[in-house]
Amino acid sequence: QSALTQPPSASGSPGQSVTISCTGTSSDVGGYNYVSWYQQHPGKAPKLMIYEVTKRPSGVPDRFSASKSGNTASLTVSGLQAEDEADYYCSSYAGSSNFGIFGGGTKLTVL
Amino acid sequence: EVQLVQSGAEVKEPGESLKISCKASGYSFTGYWIGWVRQMSGKGLEWMGIIYPADSDTRYSPSFQGQVTISADKSINTAYLQWSSLKASDTAMYYCARRIAGGGADYWGQGTLISVSS
């Protein structure tokens, strides 16, 4: 199964909003409401930011929101802060015989 | 507090064996699948396999089937990832992670860096 497609980079100025897309197929993103988003700072472990398409774990700022339309999921970071600069990965369930697939990652730069 | 604490970095030569660990605390170890994720330098994340510690039901990604062995000891709340014969291409950071519904992962270990070189 191919990786989900994410743009390699995204950027925005402090206070602005930025949206990162994650495109899959009807066999993964489009077929299930199980899209997750992870934030990874350099040298650190990934951190769950969004699960089940739109849900935020406790402790994740509400500046982070997400949605899905068809085979594409999106993560929006509003009110960008310097600490949001990191790599972001999407992930989707892809059926019971699959562990789930990741996107290639998007490097978010806060200008 | 849920924690996954992994064993430390390793430097190995090709052909050597290795077993790294992931000790869980703060939750019922037998109630969740644990997975292992590989991240090669500068690259993305890949699921290697998962294990259900309650009964050691283990499943491998096709890319890693036969290359690694995943196990767990529920008596000490620890999952393992092992290699019988390392290759230079196994050089990477390896994370354990607690799986949630739909294949996501809500808690991650700090990672174990494996370097394989002659």
User: Does the beta carbon of B111 lie under 8 angstroms from any beta carbon of chain A?
Assistant: yes
Q: Are A92 and A73 in contact (CB under 8 A)?
A: yes
Average pLDDT of every residue of chain A: 94
User: Does the beta carbon of A37 lie under 8 angstroms from any beta carbon of chain B?
Assistant: no
In angstroms, the CA B29 to CA B95 distance is 17
Give the pLDDT mean for A3-20.
Answer: 96
Residue B26 tokens read as: 């703060």
B104–A34 C-beta distance less than 8 A: yes
Q: Are B102 and A51 in contact (CB under 8 A)?
A: yes
Instruction: Mutation target for B interface from A6, A28, A48: give the one with most B CBs within 10 A.
Output: A48
Write the CB contacts of A93 (distance below 8 Å, at least 6 apart in sequence). A28, A32, A34, A35, A100, B102, B103, B104
Q: Give the nearest chain A residue to B39 (CA atoms).
A: A45
Beta bridge partners of B51: B34, B58
Is the pLDDT confidence value at A1 over 80? no
Of B40, B73, B58, B9, which is closest to residue A99 (Cα–Cα)?
Answer: B58
Average pLDDT of every residue of chain B: 96
Write the CB contacts of B71 (distance below 8 Å, at least 6 apart in sequence). B51, B56, B58, B79, B80, B82
Q: Which amino acid is at A83?
A: E
Give the three-state DSSP class for A44.
coil
Min distance B98 CA to chain A CA atoms (Å): 11
Task: Please report the pLDDT score of residue A98 as a whole number.
Answer: 72
Q: What is the tens place of the pLDDT at every residue in B25-79?
A: 999 999 999 999 999 999 999 999 999 999 999 999 889 999 999 999 999 999 9
Band of residue A3 on the pLDDT scale cut at 50, 70, 90: confident
Compute how many other C-beta atoms are within 10 angstroms of the C-beta atom of residue A89: 26
User: Does the beta carbon of A51 lie under 8 angstroms from any beta carbon of chain B?
Assistant: yes
Using CB atoms and an 8 Å cut-off, which of residues 7-26 of chain B contact chain A? Answer: none
Phi, psi of B31 (to 5 degrees): -95, -5
B61–A99 C-beta distance less than 8 A: yes
What are the distances in angstroms from CA A9 to CA A5, A66, A108, B80, B93?
12, 18, 6, 34, 22
User: Does the beta carbon of B94 lie under 8 angstroms from any beta carbon of chain A?
Assistant: no
User: Does the beta carbon of B108 lie under 8 angstroms from any beta carbon of chain A?
Assistant: yes
Q: What is the tens place of the pLDDT at every residue in B75-106?
A: 999 999 999 999 999 999 999 999 998 889 99
Task: Please report the pLDDT score of residue A99 as a whole number.
Answer: 78
Residue A63 tokens read as: 């500046």
Q: What is the tens place of the pLDDT at every residue in A52-93?
A: 999 999 999 999 999 999 999 999 999 999 999 999 999 999
